[in-house]
Amino acid sequence: MEALMTLDCSNYSENIVEVLKIFQQIGWYIYNPQGKVEYLPIDDDDEYDWQCDEKTESELYDIISKKTAGKEQIGVNLFYCNGAEGISLMACDTSQIILSITINRKTVKGKYTDMAWYLQNIIYKFLDIDVRLLSYKIEEYED
């Protein structure tokens, strides 16, 4: 199964760093359980050569700002607080943020994505803090 969530946050901000700060505010952290950041480096050129390094928040935001200036795809894995679940955030701008729900995906009936959990812990939390989304879409595909 593959599950995706697509968000349009452009009404909130045109800056992907601002959107990442909101994710952190609602409990999705940039650090994996080992305390490292998983991200796409500058000049990745769609190779998807994910890096896993010890970085500060400001170092990651600097990388993202440089990638934005170069019109590169941004990729950051986010991890839910006090849990093992994670999402891969991919975006070139805030009008189409794709969240790939793959890292320790919460499931029901053994294989289906627990979309209610992701709605509660992403969409509803955005709405609770008055981040108005222009649109959101949730999809799941059978392999």
Residue 82: pLDDT band (50, 70, 90) is confident
User: Average pLDDT, stretch 132-142?
Assistant: 94
Cα–Cα distance measured from residue 23 to residue 31, given in angstroms and rounded to the nearest whole number: 12
pTM higher than the cut 0.85: yes
Taken in order 55, 56, 57, 62, the sign of the CA dihedral is: negative
Supply angle C-alpha 17, 20, 22, rounded to 5. 115
Cα end-to-end span (Å), the chain: 5
Q: With b meaning 16 or more CB within 10 Å and e meaning fewer, what string describes 10-19?
A: bebeebbbeb
pLDDT value at 67 more than 80 = yes
pLDDT at site 83: 81
Structural domain range at position 50: 2-141
The number of folded domains in the chain is 1
